[in-house]
Amino acid sequence: MSLAVKDVLADDAVSRYVRHLRAEKNASEHTVRNYAHDICQFAGQLWGQESKTPFPWKGVDRYAARRFLAGSQKAGMSPKTTGRKISSLRSFYKFMVREEIVEVNPFSGLLLPKRPKYLPNVLSIGEVSKLLQAPAKMWEQDKEARGSEVSGRAWRDYARWRDAAILELLYSTGMRIGELAGLNDGQLDFLSGVVKVRGKGKKERLCPFGRPAHQALRNAVERRNLFWGVLGKGGTPPGLFLNCRGARLTTRSMERFMKKYLAFAGLNPNLSPHTLRHSFATHMLDAGADLRCVQELLGHSSLSTTQIYTHVSVERLKQVYEQAHPRA
């Protein structure tokens, strides 16, 4: 039987570290799971899949840390994934040094693999418009296939505006798909046109949204409430966006239907919802928005993360120059 995360969590040092992440670092459950999985993988590689707690963390040296790095690279993991695993273990050992569980951090000073530089995929303003118009056109064509019964009509009307609102909100605010999936009605302020977004590290920020997103959201909420009543559910809906069974819509569902709309609009169906976030940032900077403002709207903790979009804008300027200048 292979070593499981629940087995590693039984280790006193690991359980204390997980409590530290939740209480002091205010880490999300997604982050906690990733860190625990990385520690589990390291323990399994170092002491074997049949190893038992408590683990001899003191006996780990820098050579063991390097072997783990080399093993991750040989397994074909991307530099980004490998870097995250090393960062997870470096943070874990930093905590153990502070708590005097171990004396040294074997991952301190270990060079992370160099991540390749890349420019994010960005849609043009015209392509974004095509995508945002796709739900209305596609659901109009699909009207007959959905039936004429009351529940079918209520679902069709809601799904059309729900999908439009999701795409509009992603592009209007630049929020992450996970942030959008977790939205509740109380986070929307229609009067001031802002949404309170809970981002990474449970940090909250305010994101304004434009008139098209405002109208789509109004229509989506109104039709969602009608659909909720047709389903015969009691109480309030569990989230801002629902699936056909009345449960909160997941990020995977949003990714799937976006691919459908991308294909319908004649765009690359392999693009992800994050492309709208990239497009939001690039179009804002192209129009002269301040880099610090874009950083705040995106919820980036570091300005250097936002600066990649300035590179995208420069690349676009080069393309226009090469196409238009007679001596380019």
β-pair partners for 188 = 195
Residue 279 lies in a domain: no
Concerning whether 93 is annotated as a catalytic residue, the answer is no
Q: Are residue 245 and residue 133 in the same domain, yes or no?
A: yes
Is 315 within the bounds of a domain? no
Q: What's the rounded Cα separation, in Å, for the pair 178 and 160?
A: 21
Q: What is the CATH number of the domain that holds 72?
A: 1.10.150
| Structural domain contains residue 165 | yes
* Residue 90 bears catalytic tag: no
50 within domain boundaries: yes
- Side-chain-side CA neighbours of 89 within 13 Å: the count stands at 29
Task: Decide if 183 contacts 209 (C-beta within 8 A).
Answer: no
Contact 227, 234 (CB under 8 A): no
> Domain count of the chain?
2
| pLDDT digit string, tens, across residues 261-315 | 999 999 999 999 999 999 999 999 988 889 999 999 999 888 888 888 887 777 7
Same domain, 151 and 206: yes
d(CA 95, CA 21): 10
Q: pLDDT by residue (tens digit) across 149-188? A: 656 788 888 999 999 999 999 999 999 999 999 999 999 9
Q: Is the same domain home to 173 and 86?
A: no
Q: How far apart are CA 245 and CA 136, in angstroms?
A: 22
Assess if residue 70 is contained within a domain: yes
pLDDT at 20 over 70: yes
Phi, psi values for residue 192, rounded to 5°: -95, -10
Same domain assignment for residues 151 and 53: no
Q: Are residues 141 and 265 in the same domain?
A: yes
Statement to judge: residues 167 and 255 lie in one domain: yes
CATH number for the domain spanning 140: value is 1.10.443.10
Which candidate in 90, 176, 224, 283 is catalytic?
A: 176
Residues 80, 44 share a domain: yes
Q: Are 185 and 261 members of one domain?
A: yes
User: Is 300 a residue of the active site?
Assistant: yes
One domain, residues 130 and 43: no
Alpha carbon distance 12, 51 (integer Å): 15
Catalytic residue flag (residue 277): yes
Residues 144 and 239 placed together within one structural domain of the fold:
yes
Quickly state the pLDDT bin for 1 (edges 50, 70, 90): very low
Within-domain flag for 26? yes
The answer on 157 and 193 residing in a single domain is: yes
Give the span between the Cα atoms of 191 and 155, in whole angstroms. 27
State the Cα–Cα distance between residues 222 and 241, nearest whole angstrom: 12
309 is catalytic: yes
The one catalytic residue among 153, 200, 205, 248? 200
176 is catalytic: yes
Segments forming the whole domain that contains residue 36: 5-98
Q: Is the peptide bond before 273 cis (omega within 30 degrees of 0)?
A: no
Q: Which of 205, 233, 274, 316 is catalytic?
A: 274
Residue 5 has pLDDT above 60, yes or no: yes
